[in-house]
């Protein structure tokens, strides 16, 4: 099924709006400005001064506004990067898609799976591409680690831990389930990528240590059953100073023929039972992180081929987050299938237009 209409002038730079001129918005502006494939047509933020400041530091004459639809019309933009806070993602994505823009949205696609389903349905009804930027997928070292898993025979265990103590200020220090919703999605999505499969169920405990400076739970431990009976265990904290792990976590994979380790930064190591320790030369070519996500988005827009981050393909990662939160709240194991089906029921109830219901259901069929 063709999900979106590719851009009509494939050789011209694609004109982008950046929506959200905060910390990450500025990182996106730099990546967009460095890419020969795109140009920044305008910047949107509810805080117009912030948008102006970002425009000035990006150099050149960049239009600013508080409204996506207005600036889309004024600039003739074709696409948008949504770098607003998670609570605003659904509204901003819907407005951009309905204004005819293709959208590359920062993770998480939405705070809940039901809202993500509704956003993905808007993309389908407007024949525009909605892709989620899960920037870790574009790390060369993660891809090398994935290659090692493929050499280990059947993989039984995948273990990730992420312990850091950042003081962000802003929305993160107020939001509920902050570690699971704003950070663990990266690690959960990486686990799906590494195992090339989806989660079946999870048992999770989340908590907030006494010294935590976050209002929501900033630490969690989860055990996922993944497809094929494999286990993925996650343990993380955002209020743990000292001996910090990489932002990408520290990983161990154990399989029938050996074990692979990755510290989240350098080259991963593979120890096979019939050989010594192997450390690959990392291919340092090609864009990484959000620049990698942008490259995949642009290729998709020009070719019409659905990217790995297309919204409906990202729902499995968001469902892992929601299932983990639900498990922590209920104190019991939660099945991913139950999370998806209750999200669909909720999305249909929240969507008064009955014609959208088939679209909502179709999102889960991918």
Ligand X SMILES: NC(=O)c1ccc[n+]([C@@H]2O[C@H](COP(=O)([O-])OP(=O)(O)OC[C@H]3O[C@@H](n4cnc5c(N)ncnc54)[C@H](O)[C@@H]3O)[C@@H](O)[C@H]2O)c1
Site residues (CB under 6 A) for ligand X? 19-25, 44-47, 50, 83-86, 88, 91-92, 106-107, 135, 170-171, 182
Supply the minimum distance, in Å, between the C-beta of residue 154 and ligand X: 32
Pair type for strands 219-226 and 199-207: antiparallel
Pair type for strands 219-226 and 231-237: antiparallel
| Cα of 66 vs its chain's centroid, Å | 25
**If we measure between CA atoms, which residue out of 232, 233, 237 comes closest to residue 220?**
237
Cβ-based neighbours of 125, under 8 Å, separated by 6 or more: 356, 359
- Answer for the pair 128, 7: CB distance below 8 angstroms, yes or no: no
Burial (0-12, 13-18, 19+ Cβ within 10 Å), 20: buried
Pair type for strands 63-65 and 38-44: parallel
Triad 87, 322, 326: Cα angle to 5°: 120
Which DSSP symbol is given to 308? T
* 303: number of Cβ within 10 Å: 12
What one-character-per-residue DSSP string does 199-257 give?
Answer: EEEEEEEEE--TT---SS--EEEEEEEEGGG-EEEEEEESS--SS---TT-EEEEEETT
- Answer for the pair 317, 336: CB distance below 8 angstroms, yes or no: no
Tokens 């976590």, located at residue? 249
Closer residue to ligand X in complex, CB, 126/135: 135
Closer residue to ligand X in complex, CB, 85/348: 85
- Answer for the pair 308, 315: CB distance below 8 angstroms, yes or no: no
Cβ-based neighbours of 274, under 8 Å, separated by 6 or more: 257
- Answer for the pair 322, 109: CB distance below 8 angstroms, yes or no: no
What is the spatial distance between Cα 301 and Cα 307, in angstroms, rounded to a whole number? 9
Closer residue to ligand X in complex, CB, 170/176: 170
Copy the structure tokens of residue 30.
Answer: 């730099």
* 78: number of Cβ within 10 Å: 22
């Amino acid at each position: 099924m063709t999900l979106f209409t590719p851009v009509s002038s494939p050789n011209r730079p694609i004109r982008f709006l950046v929506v959200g001129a905060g910390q990450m918005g500025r990182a996106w502006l730099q990546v967009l400005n460095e890419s020969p494939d795109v140009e920044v047509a305008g910047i949107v933020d509810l805080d117009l001064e912030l948008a102006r400041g970002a425009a000035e530091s990006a150099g050149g004459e960049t239009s600013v506004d508080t409204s996506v639809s207005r600036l889309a019309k004024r600039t003739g933009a074709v696409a948008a990067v949504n770098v607003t806070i998670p609570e605003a993602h659904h509204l901003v994505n819907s407005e951009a898609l309905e204004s005819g823009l293709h959208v590359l949205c920062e993770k998480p696609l939405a705070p809940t799976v039901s809202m993500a389903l509704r956003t993905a349905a808007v993309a389908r009804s407007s024949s525009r591409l909605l892709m989620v930027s899960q920037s870790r997928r574009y790390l060369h070292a993660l891809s090398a680690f994935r290659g090692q898993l493929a050499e280990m025979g059947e993989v039984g265990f995948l273990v990730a831990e992420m312990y850091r103590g950042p003081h962000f200020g802003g929305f993160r220090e107020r939001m509920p389930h902050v570690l699971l919703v704003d950070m663990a999605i990266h690690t959960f999505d990486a686990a799906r990528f590494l195992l090339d499969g989806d989660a079946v169920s999870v048992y999770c405990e989340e908590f907030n240590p006494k010294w935590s400076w976050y209002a929501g739970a900033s630490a969690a431990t989860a055990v996922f059953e993944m497809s094929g009976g494999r286990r993925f265990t996650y343990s993380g904290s955002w209020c743990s100073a000292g001996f910090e792990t990489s932002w990408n976590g520290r990983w161990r994979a154990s399989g029938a023929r050996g074990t692979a380790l990755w510290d989240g930064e350098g080259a991963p190591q593979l120890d096979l039972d019939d050989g010594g320790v192997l450390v690959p030369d990392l291919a340092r070519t090609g864009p990484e992180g959000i620049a990698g996500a942008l490259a995949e988005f642009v290729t998709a827009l020009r070719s019409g081929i659905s990217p790995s981050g297309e919204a409906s393909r990202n729902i499995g990662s968001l469902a892992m987050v929601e299932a983990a939160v639900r498990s922590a709240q209920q104190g019991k194991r939660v099945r991913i299938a139950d999370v998806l089906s209750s999200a669909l029921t909720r999305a249909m109830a929240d969507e008064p237009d009955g014609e959208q219901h088939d679209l909502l259901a179709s999102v889960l069929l991918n």
